[in-house]
Amino acid sequence: MNLRSTAILSSLSIGVLAARKFDKKETAALAQRHGANEKALHLNKTLFSTSEHYQAITAVRSRARAYINDHTNPWDGEGWRIMRSSEFMEMSAEIRKFELEFDHAVKPFLVEYQSGRLRDKAVLNGLWREEDYPPVEKAKKKFYFELEFQPLPDVSDWRVDVGREEMEVLRRQAEKSVQDRINKSMVEPHYRLFDGVAHMAIRITGAKTCPCRVCKNRMFLSDSVSDSLVDNLRKICDILPKLNITDDPNLAALIEEAKAGLLSFNVGTIRENPTVRNTLAERAAKLQSELGWVLNAA
């Protein structure tokens, strides 16, 4: 399958003025006070802790990044991610909304930048340092919001000044590298489905901790089945076809198996009917086993 006509790469870069500042002087003083090695300590201060505008900036940054991560698969370690080219218009429109929200939060923050420094002085007291705050024009340049797209690498059009045999070796290596990245990118949607199924399986059995990548073994206060349990898995199943960039029939079949086997009961029935919970647990275990086989082979 030639993905160069159906997939593209995207990269979202969001810059924000850093609010965490290392205080070398106070770190040294703290180490001396306790007879500790200074290299073992790192005293950081949080600037703009009372600024609602700064909190709004970082919140929209987090939501924009989450949106990109939800709608794309990883590609490399430099921020590029792979997506269906058919999703270009929708993604551009959604990211534009985040960008406008970002700008609307940055502008008032910069307007109140000087007063924000003074509020920090009252909060940090003796830890306040004027040098922690760049001039407003310099601070302004720290904020940026950029979404870039580029096509997948096309090694067939390479023109390198080497011999024919060497060129063929380089081309094969490059093609293998691209294919390896495509294969790795397809691991992510399998993992997402595995996590969603694993989370449901854990919660319907009443376990208090969940090992999926979202929960990360966090402790639940209750063993009851939440209203969002079915909806969360349904959202995963709805978005995964967009992430199936190679149109893998096995992944498509697993998605349909999850929808048919695990999303056919409402939350109330799951809560009240032990037989339904046992049925779902058995189906989830079977699906986890099938997904586990795929992931172990990846």
DSSP 232-284: HHHHHHHHHHHH-TT--HHHHHHHHHHHHHHSSS-HHHHHH-HHHHHHHHHHH
Would you give the DSSP letter of residue 289?
A: H
The whole-angstrom distance between residue 288's C-alpha and the CA centroid of its chain comes to 23
pLDDT at residue 7, rounded to an integer: 94
Burial class (CB in 10 A: 0-12, 13-18, 19+), 20: exposed
Would you give the DSSP letter of residue 48?
A: T
pLDDT tens digit at each of 298 positions of the chain: 678 889 999 999 999 999 999 999 999 999 899 999 988 989 999 999 999 999 999 999 999 999 999 999 999 888 999 999 999 999 999 999 999 999 999 999 999 999 999 999 999 999 999 999 999 999 999 999 999 999 988 766 656 555 677 767 777 887 888 889 999 999 999 999 999 999 998 888 888 888 888 888 888 877 778 888 899 999 999 999 999 999 999 999 999 999 999 999 998 999 899 999 999 999 999 999 999 877 876 6
181 contacts 81 by C-beta, under 8 angstroms:
no
- Using CA atoms, how far apart are residues 182 and 172, in angstroms rounded to an integer? 15
Question: Which residue shows structure tokens 């023109």?
Answer: 159
Q: Name the token pair of 272.
A: 């009240």
- Sign for the pseudo-dihedral over CA of 113, 114, 119, 122: positive
**Dmax (CA) of the chain:** 72
pLDDT at residue 165, rounded to an integer: 74
The whole-angstrom distance between residue 70's C-alpha and the CA centroid of its chain comes to 7
140 contacts 110 by C-beta, under 8 angstroms:
yes
Write the CA distances from 50 to 62, 108, 121, 259, 260, integer angstroms. Answer: 19, 14, 11, 45, 49
Burial class (CB in 10 A: 0-12, 13-18, 19+), 217: exposed
Give the amino acid at 62.
S
For the chain, give every domain's residue range. Answer: 8-151, 185-297
Q: Name the token pair of 124.
A: 């940090």
3-state secondary structure of 10: strand
**HSE of 243, CA atoms in CB hemisphere, 13 A:** 29
pLDDT at residue 163, rounded to an integer: 66
pLDDT at residue 69, rounded to an integer: 95
For the chain, give the number of residues.
298
- Using CA atoms, how far apart are residues 84 and 109, in angstroms rounded to an integer? 36
Instruction: Provide the β-strand partners of residue 44.
Output: 22
Q: At CB < 8 A and 24+ separation, what contacts does 120-123 make?
A: 120/47, 120/48, 120/49, 120/50, 123/49, 123/50
**Pairing state between β 209-210 and 218-219:** antiparallel
- Using CA atoms, how far apart are residues 181 and 9, in angstroms rounded to an integer? 12
